[in-house]
């Protein structure tokens, strides 16, 4: 790791070293006298270096066998290289923590992170996608199960202190590698598995074919300013991964470049803005499992893909492709198809979707017409983004296919309406929008949502919905009654719904169970998890709660018409729900 100046990092005193070691092992962990004696010796071997202490202690969490502790101490006392400076002192500790990863999948995941540039903050979602298409995660599982497994693997690497957690408020969790941890990973990949990593913003350079050795397994040119010399044809029969995302100046890839990469599984050309067409040699990459072309804003042509029967992920989003590549109907193992948004009006020929029976994720731009009947044939679909005509939309939300979705973004348009790619409806023409997110967020706009007794139709909503936004849904009169409990709902926003009169209508006190002695909210009570309620532009809203049946009802918490209501603390509201007073 090159630097202009070496700065000495002061080591921790012995007591602080031991305190940090114990803290990393786990709060309140009691070690036996024999293990504590060995642990003290291991902590001393960390030379007072915080990274080494944290990494070493992290790798020993949960170990209660004295033999394993003594074995680790033996390996530290007999390092393979002489310790000369900080880097040499900490590397054996980091390497030992890596070697202690019992699961080969964890080691693969850890080394994969080294393909990213130094100090890169990496999206967990991106890593998990790579883990899936690389075969680290079983592709036969449901998409949710695969994502859960990916997060589990990353959590284990964080717990072992080999990755650092990043991310803040309202930001999806991300990870990064410490500089020295990454250097250790790169040292490993100089031998086996063999990587070539030239990622990061660098000056423009021509690729050198001599550097592309026959035993290379993964190559990263992320964010690199590169040019491929004419006639370059690297002989890399073992190469499985080529990451060239955001490779500036990459204007053309000639046919010869991929000819000797027949083992290639993952090809990422995302955000390489200069490429207008892909070489036909890509059609022969029969082991390819993922082709990422997102944001290749000048790309107009992709070659036939019919031979890529192993392909699991195809991302054509934000390209200028006007016709889907020939042979798409042959991609029988495709799990994820992304074509949202597209720069051109793309036609998805009739008959293709039913052939893609393994699809779990289908995201199409609003300009791509899709037949409802074809989508409903996708029995494994979990994630859907598309546009329907209004009549098809209403039929689809009653289908089994809709009920099995864990995430969806569906819009409808008429001749006057327009929906932008973020899903928001504009103009006064008829337009409907239904969104369900993985975190149980639901947003419904301009759609008929009325079910029985005038409440929101439960068929539209996940049973464990946590966030709900209703806008311009003019047929609904109440949010819920005793039969639709919204027991997990935490936040509710209702805007511009002209006919809504009450939030809750309970027909009788027998419809809920009240635990007055304990003072706890009954799990059977409506909205018992609600934390935030926002109401705005509701001209007929007269009260929060209506109690009793027709003719004998009472209202509680009356409100002036058109009130803006932002309730962040609900003790009075909850009390009314439970007491009926």
Confidence at residue 354, expressed as pLDDT on a 0 to 100 scale: 96
Q: Which residues contact 169 (CB under 8 A, 6 or more apart)?
A: none
Is residue 510 pLDDT above 50, yes or no? no
Is residue 6 pLDDT above 90, yes or no? no
Residue with the bigger pLDDT between 115 and 52: it is: 115
Closest CA to 88 of 39, 49, 38, 55: 49
Highest mean pLDDT of the ranges 86-95, 382-391, 559-568: 382-391
* Run of H or E residues at 468: strand 467-471
Confidence at residue 393, expressed as pLDDT on a 0 to 100 scale: 80
Confidence at residue 274, expressed as pLDDT on a 0 to 100 scale: 86
DSSP for 471-482, written as a single string: ES-TT--EEEET
Query: What are the two backbone dihedrals, phi and then psi, of residue 118, each rounded to the nearest 5 degrees?
Result: -60, 135
Distance in angstroms (rounded) separating the CA atoms of residues 498 and 539: 6
- Would you give the DSSP letter of residue 456? B
Confidence at residue 114, expressed as pLDDT on a 0 to 100 scale: 96
Closest CA to 343 of 313, 369, 319, 323: 319
Q: Which residues contact 195 (CB under 8 A, 6 or more apart)?
A: 111, 114, 115, 186, 189, 216, 217, 218, 219, 220
Distance in angstroms (rounded) separating the CA atoms of residues 118 and 130: 19
Q: Does domain 104-185 have CATH number 3.40.50.10860?
A: no
* Run of H or E residues at 242: strand 241-243
> pLDDT class for 304, splitting at 50, 70, 90?
very high
Instruction: Provide the whole-model pTM.
Output: 0.79
Closest CA to 282 of 250, 251, 314: 314
Q: Are strands 205-206 and 226-227 parallel, antiparallel or unpaired?
A: parallel
Contact 180, 87 (CB under 8 A): yes
Distance in angstroms (rounded) separating the CA atoms of residues 196 and 200: 13
Highest mean pLDDT of the ranges 18-22, 73-77, 335-339: 335-339
* Number of C-beta neighbours around residue 83 at 10 A: 14
Confidence at residue 417, expressed as pLDDT on a 0 to 100 scale: 47
> pLDDT class for 555, splitting at 50, 70, 90?
low
Collapse the DSSP code of 425 into the 3-class scheme (helix H, G, I; strand E, B; otherwise coil) and give the result.
Answer: strand
Distance, C-alpha 189 to centroid of its chain: 27
Distance in angstroms (rounded) separating the CA atoms of residues 545 and 542: 9
Is residue 526 pLDDT above 60, yes or no? yes
Distance in angstroms (rounded) separating the CA atoms of residues 251 and 234: 18
- pLDDT tens digits for range 145-202: 999 999 999 999 988 888 988 875 445 789 999 877 888 899 999 999 999 999 987 6
Contact 205, 226 (CB under 8 A): yes
**Sheet with 478-481, side-by-side order of all strands:** 478-481, 502-506, 543-547, 554-558
> Considering only 183-192, 362-371, 407-416, 497-506, which range has the smallest mean pLDDT?
407-416
- pLDDT tens digits for range 400-450: 999 899 899 888 765 444 444 443 334 343 457 888 887 778 999 888 788
Closest CA to 527 of 507, 542, 512, 509: 512
Token look-up 């819920």 returns 480
Phi-psi region of 225 (alpha: psi -120 to 50; beta: other; left: phi over 0): beta
Confidence at residue 581, expressed as pLDDT on a 0 to 100 scale: 39
Contact 151, 128 (CB under 8 A): yes
Confidence at residue 125, expressed as pLDDT on a 0 to 100 scale: 94
Collapse the DSSP code of 409 into the 3-class scheme (helix H, G, I; strand E, B; otherwise coil) and give the result.
Answer: strand
Is residue 257 pLDDT above 60, yes or no? yes
Confidence at residue 119, expressed as pLDDT on a 0 to 100 scale: 86
Average pLDDT, the chain: 82
Task: Calculate ∠ Cα 52-55-57, nearest 5°.
Answer: 100
Contact 223, 200 (CB under 8 A): yes
Is residue 364 pLDDT above 90, yes or no? yes
Assess whether the previous peptide bond of 193 is cis (omega < 30° from 0): yes
Is residue 21 pLDDT above 80, yes or no? yes
Confidence at residue 561, expressed as pLDDT on a 0 to 100 scale: 45
Longest dimension (CA), the chain: 89
Q: Are strands 502-506 and 478-481 parallel, antiparallel or unpaired?
A: parallel
Which residues partner with 535 through β-bridges?
A: 494, 565
Residue with the bigger pLDDT between 490 and 171: it is: 490
Residue with the bigger pLDDT between 251 and 258: it is: 258
Q: Does domain 194-203+213-346 have CATH number 3.80.10.10?
A: yes
- Would you give the DSSP letter of residue 117? P
For residues 284-308, give the mean pLDDT. Answer: 96
Q: Which long-range contacts (C-beta less than 8 Å, at least 24 apart) are formed by 343-347?
A: 343/297, 343/318, 343/319, 344/320, 346/321, 346/322, 347/323
Collapse the DSSP code of 449 into the 3-class scheme (helix H, G, I; strand E, B; otherwise coil) and give the result.
Answer: coil
Confidence at residue 89, expressed as pLDDT on a 0 to 100 scale: 61
* Number of C-beta neighbours around residue 56 at 10 A: 28
Contact 528, 574 (CB under 8 A): yes
Domain spans in the chain, listed from the N-terminal domain onward: 14-99, 104-185, 194-203+213-346, 439-581
Percent of the chain with pLDDT over 70: 81
Collapse the DSSP code of 334 into the 3-class scheme (helix H, G, I; strand E, B; otherwise coil) and give the result.
Answer: coil
Query: According to the 3-state scheme, what is the secondary structure of 279-312?
Result: CHHHHHCCCCCEEECCCCCCCCECCCCCCCCCCC
């Amino acid at each position: 790791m090159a630097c202009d100046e070496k700065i000495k990092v002061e080591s921790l005193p012995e007591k602080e070293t031991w305190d940090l070691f114990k803290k990393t092992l786990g709060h309140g962990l009691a070690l036996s006298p024999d293990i504590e004696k060995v642990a003290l010796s291991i902590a001393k071997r960390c030379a007072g270096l915080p990274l080494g202490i944290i990494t070493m202690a992290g790798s020993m969490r949960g170990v209660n066998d004295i033999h394993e502790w003594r074995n680790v101490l033996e390996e530290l006392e007999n390092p393979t290289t002489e310790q000369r400076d900080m880097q040499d002192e900490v590397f054996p500790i980091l390497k030992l923590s890596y070697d202690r990863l019992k699961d080969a999948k964890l080691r693969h995941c850890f080394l994969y992170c080294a393909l990213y540039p130094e100090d890169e903050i990496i999206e967990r979602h991106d890593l998990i996608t790579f883990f899936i298409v690389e075969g680290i995660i079983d592709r036969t599982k449901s998409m949710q199960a695969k994502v859960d497994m990916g997060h589990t693997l990353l959590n284990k690497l964080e717990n072992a202190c080999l990755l650092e957690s990043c991310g803040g408020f309202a930001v999806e969790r991300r990870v990064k590698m410490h500089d020295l941890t990454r250097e250790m990973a790169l040292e490993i990949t100089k031998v086996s598995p063999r990587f070539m990593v030239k990622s990061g913003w660098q000056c423009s350079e021509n690729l050198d074919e001599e550097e592309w050795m026959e035993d290379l397994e993964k190559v990263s040119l992320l964010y690199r300013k590169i040019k491929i010399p004419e006639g370059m044809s690297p002989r890399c029969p073992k190469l499985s991964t080529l990451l060239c995302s955001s490779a500036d100046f990459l204007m053309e890839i000639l046919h010869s470049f991929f000819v000797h990469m027949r083992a290639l599984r993952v090809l990422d050309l995302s955000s390489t803005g200069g490429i207008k067409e892909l070489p036909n040699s890509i059609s022969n990459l029969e082991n390819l499992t993922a082709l990422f072309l997102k944001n290749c804003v000048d790309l107009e042509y992709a070659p036939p893909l019919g031979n890529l029967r192993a392909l699991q992920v195809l991302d054509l989003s934000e390209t200028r492709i006007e016709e889907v590549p020939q042979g798409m109907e042959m991609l029988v193992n495709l799990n994820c198809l992304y074509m949202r948004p597209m720069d051109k009006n793309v036609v998805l020929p009739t008959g293709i979707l039913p052939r893609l029976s393994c699809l779990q994720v289908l995201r199409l731009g609003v300009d791509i017409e899709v037949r409802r009947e074809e989508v409903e044939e996708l029995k494994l679909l979990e994630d859907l983004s598309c546009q329907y005509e209004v009549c098809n939309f209403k039929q689809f939300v009653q289908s089994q296919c809709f009920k099995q979705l864990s995430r969806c973004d569906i819009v409808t348009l008429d001749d006057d309406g327009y929906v932008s790619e973020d899903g928001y409806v504009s103009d006064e023409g008829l337009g409907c929008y239904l969104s369900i997110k993985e975190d149980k967020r639901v947003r419904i706009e301009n759609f008929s949502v009325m079910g029985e007794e005038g409440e929101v139709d439960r068929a539209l909503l996940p049973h464990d919905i946590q966030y709900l936004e209703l806008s311009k849904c003019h047929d609904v009169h109440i949010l819920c009654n005793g039969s639709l409990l919204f027991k997990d709902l935490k936040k509710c926003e209702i805007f511009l719904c002209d006919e809504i009169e009450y939030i809750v209508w309970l027909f009788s006190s027998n419809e809920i169970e009240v635990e007055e002695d304990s003072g706890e909210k009954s799990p059977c009570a409506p909205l018992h998890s609600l934390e935030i309620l926002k109401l705005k532009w509701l001209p007929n809203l007269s009260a929060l709660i209506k109690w009793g049946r027709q003719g004998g009802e009472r209202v509680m918490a009356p409100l002036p018409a058109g009130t803006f209501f932002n309730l962040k603390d609900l003790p009075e509201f909850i009390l009314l729900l439970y007491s009926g007073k």
